[in-house]
Structure formats: C-alpha cells, structure tokens
Chain A
Amino acid sequence: MKLDGKVPPGSLGEKWTKYRSTMPLVAPNNKRRIDIIMVGTGLAGASAAATLGELGYNVKCFTFHDSPRRAHSIAAQGGINAAKNYQNDGDSVYRLFYDTIKGGDYRSRESNVHRLAEASRNIIDQAVAQGVPLAREYGGLLANRSFGGVQVSRTFYARGQTGQQLLLGAYQALSRQISLGNVEMYNRHEMLDLVLVEEKDSNGKPVKKARGIIARNLLTGELERHAAHCVVLGTGGYANLFYLSTNAMNCNVSAAWRTVRRGALMANPCFTQIHPTCIPVSGDYQSKLTLMSESLRNDGRVWVPKKEEDAKAIREGKKTALDIPEEDRDYYLERRYPAFGNLVPRDVASRAAKTACDQGLGVAPTGLAVYLDFEAAFERYGKSKAHATGLHNPSMETIIDLGRKVVEEKYGNLFEMYEKITGENPYIMPMKIYPAVHYTMGGIWVDYNLETNIPGLFVTGEANFSDHGANRLGASALMQGLADGYFVLPYTIGDFLSREIRTPKIDPKQPAFEQAENDVRDRINKLLNIKGDHSVESFHRRLGKIMWEYCGMSRNEQGLLTARQLLRELKDEFYRNVFVPGTNEEYNPELEKALRVADFMELGEVMILDALNREESCGGHFREEYQTEDGEALRRDDEFAYVAAWEYNGWDEEPKLHKEHLVFENVELKTRSYK
C-alpha cells in the first residue's frame, strides 16, 4: 500500500490558504441531504459536530458519556497555545510551527503543523466570541503564560481549568445545533464497529467506503445500526492502555481500534507522552494518576538529594526534605539543561526524573518520586510583594508568608488538589512528583484532509497521529483538537463529500450492516460466556504493568520481546479466565470494560512491535541502545524519518508495516538541544 499524504503543492505559508480557496465545495442544498456521523464529543468532536451542523449537514453525534460535556478534554489544566504575539515577544505562525516540529523531534508532517499554527489564532477569537472566560490583565486584554520547550509566552489560559472552559464553549455551540435540529445527539452510546460498504468508483473499480457504525446503547444493550455518507472519529488517545495514566477512567481506544480492524492504519503507536509532574503512585488499589499542571514548572524547582543515604533516610521516614541543606540538593534539570532549566520539554524532564530515581535518589517510600519545590518562588515573590507594599527589612518568615500568598493566587487550586490527594501541605513540604502516562501522539493514520486510507473515514484530535510527532508540547493538545474541529475538518471533509452529492441515503438494512452487527454480537457473547474467575480490572492492571515496565519511559530490544511474550500469555489467560457479570441486555459497565480491555491488548502488541521497529530514540520513545554518551536521545534520521503505519488483522497474523517518508523542505533536521 502506498501512503499518500495528499499534501497540496505550493510554499509552506500558502498551501492551506490556496488549497482551502480552490477545493471543491458542497452547495447548501446538497449539504441538507448529506449525513455525517461524529463519534466523540471532546474538543475535536464537539467543535466539529457543531461546525458541521452550522454548515447545514445532518449530523448524528455519539458519546458513551451521559452528556457531551464530560469528555476528558475537560480535565486539561494549563492552557492553549496560539501565535497571536500579543506579548510582542517575537512570536509568529512560523515560530509556533517551528517549535512544534522541533518539540516533536522531527517526526511530524510540516504541512499539517503549519496549518495548525495558522488556525491557532482563529481558535482564540472563536472561544472569546463564545464567551469563554479566558484570563485577562487589568487593561481588559488577554493574559498569557509560558510552557515548556518554547521561549515565548503564547499560552492562553483560564486559571487551571482551560480545558473545561474551552470544552464548555464547544459543548454550548453543539447544544445550540442540537436545539436547532441540525445535530441529533446520542448519549450513552458506544461505537463498537465501523461499517464498510463496497461500491464502484467512477472507473467501475470496487471500493469500500465508511458508511456507518454499530453502536451499543449502554442503557439497554441494544445494538443499533447508524448509516451516513461518512464517519468522523474524535475519540481521543489510548493512554489508558497503561492502566495507570492521567486519562479519565473510561477513556479507551475501542472506536479507533475497530477502524483498524476494518483496515485503517495505526500510526506511530509507540509515541506515548509521559508527563513529568504527576502525583506519584501510592498503593496497589490505585485507579488513576493525577497531573499537576506543567505551568507549575514556571515557578517550581525540581530536585533530589545528592547523597544516596539522604534519599534512603527520606524513604524510611527518618528525614524530610526540610532536613536536606541547600548544598546537598541536586537541582538536576538546572544543572543538565541550563538554557531551559526546569522548563525543558516533557520527554526530557520525565527521563531525567527516571534517571535520578534509578540512581537510588528517589524520595517516596516506593523510591519513585522527586521533589518539586516552591521555596525559591515564595522567597522571590515575597520580597517583591514586601517591596511593593513598602515593608522595609521584613523577616524571612514574613517574606515567605507573603510569597505563599502570591503563589496561592497563581496555583491555588492545584496546591489544594495536591493536599486533598496526598494529605500533605505543599506550602510547607515540597511536592513529590513522578512521571506518568498522559497523552498519545500516535494514532490513526490520516492524510492532509484528515481522511484515513479508508475513503469516507476521518479522524480528528488526539485520535489521529498527525501533528505532534514524537513528543507534544504543553498546551498544544487543546489547540490541535479545536483546530481540527472548527477550522480544518469542516473544509477538508468537502473534498470527499463533493463527490457524494448523488449518493442517496445509506440504507442500514443492507448486508454489510447486518454482518457488522453480528460480528459485534459474537464478540460480546464470547466475553460473556468465558465465565472465568478474575475481574476485567485485574487483567487491565496486569496489562498496564507489562506495558509500563517494558514499553514505558525507556525501552530495549530484550525487554520488548519479553513484553510481547507476557502480553500473549495474558491475552490467552484473559480469553480463558475473565469473568464478566450480567448480560448484554442491560446497563453493564463490566461488559463495556471487557470489550475495551480486549482491544487494548491488541493495540499493546502493535505498540511493542512499533517500539521494536523504531531503532532510534526520539521524543517520547527512548530506546536504551540508542543514546549519546551523556544519556540524551539519539535520533537516526537517515533510517527512521518516516511515519510507521501498521495494518493489523488479529492475533494470528503478523502486523504489516507501511511507511510514509517525511519530507522536510522548510526546517533543517537538527539534534534537539535544550542545554
């Protein structure tokens, strides 16, 4: 299979404008006759469904949640990037493009990333017009802050709840279209299969197009057939494959994975993002991990004790962070990366934390935590506040006290959340943090139109692979989700649909739908009939342990081969011994989970193979065999500057690799350095 990215001709800065202005359109009277299925209601899904509804298409929108407002985009804390240059600090569309390509370690498509940077500006305008209360300065204009891996201030935010506010904006736009009858909303419906219908193309050759989905009504268990002229996914990432991640409990890959089982390709699955600042794991019962926003690294300093015996004493509870004098602390990010210091990108910060803990310097009882310390910020802000309020020669105690209040204004909700979860007061004791799986850059392969190799199937947001390469920069996920949904897909979908204006309504009674429905029913019955001894949860937990151990922050060939073996054993045991209570014909969350874990296991194997295949280190993918003398990632552009897109046909067949070679015409491939 030849993968054609369908990148339009022209110079980088003009491609999108020109393409958009010359592509075929669907006239308003024809839009009314065209049905679109949108699966997912996060930033990408809700914004796309709303915009497509506004344009006049008939949209059917699906979410497994009880309401579109609960999608996990809501939990994004820090902010959203946009090349507005409101701070007059040298930002531009080109700089945002360049930072994103570099941050992604040169493994993304130039044209897509530039389009993303262009659209970023419109997103902020749109959000403000929707009434999203972004942070403002006293002059009434929008405020910005800095995020990792960049040297300008381009991140817009709404306290620590930026994702919530942007999602509610998109949810409200979607609600408006629902009330106008342009979007029909299906809550508590989960997509369990994609339906392909074989048709003849203009040359009379047979072609299979995406024409519908099989969805399970989660309240009744009924399997429903939904037909449309095309299908769009905005179903998020697959970080929950690791069991413990910062994703919400119900985030899953099933809708996306089912398209892979119907012929779509899974691209770069080994590119997973490990976020450096999460609350560490505390016990076996733990169900998920909680992120502490990257914005904290603006003011927090990361350190571990220099001496192993100090770290040991802390782990055993004989000492605390406060007992370690300044000269015995190693601020390792500032030491190793003086140019970016504590604001190095996520992959770099995460690996450095792991290295410190591997050396026996970890500070939690598990050995897996480093400190994030605000003492210096308290002092700095305290002094400035004392000065501003005319306090002369204040005591250190007064300064720290004043500083704490300033920090509280900036990050109060995060400090509060930390205290709720750990029971420790971070204003007194430094936070303990450790990296955790947070986001997945890999996803379904799409071309410039966001269309997969299956005609009529489009994928947006985190669910596609397209914009972040091997590592995503902070505050860029919200940008991509909304760019895809508001400003990219609504145009590019026209390329396919303009050729479908003569296609009548798709009939869900045809055999392809019946076949897909039967396939789903068989999968469900298979799981219900195993009647083994162990819960789905226990298998998911074991899956996560295997993946985190061997395919997590650092990987090597031997470990990956072991992981594949262990995963296959786990899969065999799962299909022999899982117990799924209840029946299909009822509200049955255990059955929902079982279907999702079964898909995670299949994806797990492809992820392992992808990590094995990629014999280089880049971004979130670190192969121990490929590192420089001082332990930095060693990229191998000559052999691996490509997108690895995998075809998968079940456990009995070896997945097949397809390559899309990445062409860099505008940026020079350089070793990424943050020193």
Chain B
Amino acid sequence: MKLTLKIWRQGGKYKGEFVSYVLDKVSEHMSFLEMLDVLNEELVEKKETPVSFEHDCREGICGSCDMVINGQPHGPMRGTTTCQLHMRHYNDGDTIVIEPFRAKAFPVIRDLVVDRSSFDRIIQAGGFISVDTGQAQDANNTPIEKTTASEAFDAATCIGCGACVAACPNASAMLFTSAKVAHLSMMPQGKVEAKRRVQAMVKQMDEEGFGMCSNVTACEAECPKEISVENIAKMNREYISAVFGSETSV
C-alpha cells in the first residue's frame, strides 16, 4: 500500500515542524516500526538524516517506543505498544500523523525521542522496598493471597513508557506513579514503609512538573498494559491517610 506520513522533525536543521514523506511499498505484514525502518533506510540512501525514534525490544515490554499516532499514544489498537502495531490495520492511501509524546516533563531530544528520566527520579524517590541483598527470609515464610499477588502483578506490569502522560490533557503522571505505589503497598513486604513511600513519590512527581489529575481517565484508555485507574484511587487514599493519619512526613 501507499502511505503519506507526516512526521514531527525537531533538531539538526529542523526547528520543530511536520515533514511529509510518501512511502510506496508498505506490506500489511510489517510492524509500524518496520515501516519507519524502511523510510529511514530510504532517507539514508538519499543521504538525508533519518527520523530518530526510540525503540528496542519490539515485543511490547521494554517501554522504549513512544509516539503519538494520529492523535493517540501508541496508535489505535487497545493494549498495544507502537512496536506491536501492524500495518494491516491501515489502508492504501492513508495519511498518518506521527508526533512525540508531548509533556513539559518530557522535553523533546530529537524528532520523536523525548527525555523520560523524570520517571526514574520518581522511582528513586521511593518506588522500592528498602531491603539489602542477603537480608531476605525464606520466600515461602509469608504467604500472600493469590488474588492479592495477582492484583499487585497487574499494577506492576507498567512498562514506564509514558503513554499515560501523553494521553492526559494535564500531562499528569498519576497512573504511572500510582501503579508503583499500589503494587508495592499491596505486598506485605511493601506495607512497612508505605506511608513514607507515597509521600515521597508524590512530592517528586509534583516537582518534575507533571500536571494534576482531573479524572479524564484517558491514561487508562491509552495504556498499552491496560493499567487501571483504580490504582489512582488507591494512591489517593494511601496519600491522604499518610499525610493526615501518621507521624511520618516526607
């Protein structure tokens, strides 16, 4: 099929603008990123600068790929990262608009590549259980109810891609932050420092310049791992009880 791509170019000779490219022989079996590989190879053979985009595992798990396709982070398929999106969902003659994830806390590095290190700093603020190597007891000493473990797992599947932020009109990072808060505070091992954790992570999230949550829930709709907004409710509850109900303040 023949496609027209309108891609955001920024950096080098581009100040920040959409550039149009026409691709002739796109196979329906290609993945979306393989389609961009073909474009880039054409550009390189023409001695032009290829389009920069972040990608790595191409299996939907590393969280590297980040682009907004026709207005939707990771494109039109529910529960699917850009790398797992295939061209069979497009038709001959389509125009596809491709942009980076846009948020104040995700500055653009080049073209479609943005800086998401703010996510790392939120985790560093408290997204862990304070246990040193070698301090653990036998793994079966603390039974954990199957459904609890399973719910914690659902929250823990976050791949840290940032689609939730890109989808949110306020560029809020509540889904990302709450997924980690919920995962850890559901596990008995993580309950001990739960009050400290939620305060520290929320504080860092605010400092990074992410917006407030106004319950639009676009984050859940666009999340490639379909992480539930219930986690946000859990975090809010946890936060309020930590701030007003405990001695620990961060």
Contact = CB atoms under 8 A, between A and B. Distances in A.
Interface in A268-290: 282-283, 285-288, 290
Interface stretch (A130-138, A328-336, A520-528, A563-571): A130-138
B139 A248 contact: no
A141 B143 contact: yes
B130 A176 contact: yes
B138 interface: yes
A165 to B, nearest CB: 6
B30 interface: yes
Interface stretch (A67-75, A312-320, A431-439, A550-558): A67-75
B52 interface: yes
A86 interface: yes
A590 B50 contact: yes
A56 B106 CA distance: 33
Contacts of A134: 139, 149
A68 B120 CA distance: 9
A179 interface: yes
Contacts of B48: 581
Question: Contact size class for B?
Answer: 35 or more
Contacts of A586: 11-12
A366 to B, nearest CB: 12
B85 to A, nearest CB: 8
A64 B40 CA distance: 21
Size bracket of the A interface = 35 or more
Contacts of A534: 45
Interface in B18-67: 27, 29-31, 33-34, 37-38, 40-41, 44-45, 47-50, 52, 54-64
B248 interface: no
A327 B23 CA distance: 47
B201 to A, nearest CB: 11
A345 interface: no
Given A131-B189, A140-B146, A161 B61 contact: yes
Contacts of B58: 248-249, 287-288, 290
B61 A172 contact: no
B56 A72 contact: yes
User: Quick one: which of A168, A185, A590 has the most chain B CB within 10 A?
Assistant: A168
A187 to B, nearest CB: 6
Interface of A: 47, 50-51, 54, 65-70, 72, 74-75, 84, 86, 122, 124-131, 133-142, 158-159, 161, 164-165, 168, 171-173, 175-176, 178-179, 185, 187, 219, 248-250, 282-283, 285-288, 290-291, 417, 420-421, 423, 486-487, 490, 533-538, 579, 581-582, 586-587, 589-590
The 4 closest A-B pairs by CB, nearest first: A140-B143, A129-B136, A172-B128, A125-B136
25 contacts: A66-B116, A69-B63, A70-B57, A70-B62, A70-B64, A72-B62, A74-B57, A74-B62, A131-B183, A131-B187, A131-B190, A133-B153, A133-B156, A140-B145, A140-B146, A142-B140, A158-B153, A164-B61, A165-B156, A173-B133, A176-B128, A187-B117, A283-B30, A287-B31, A420-B77
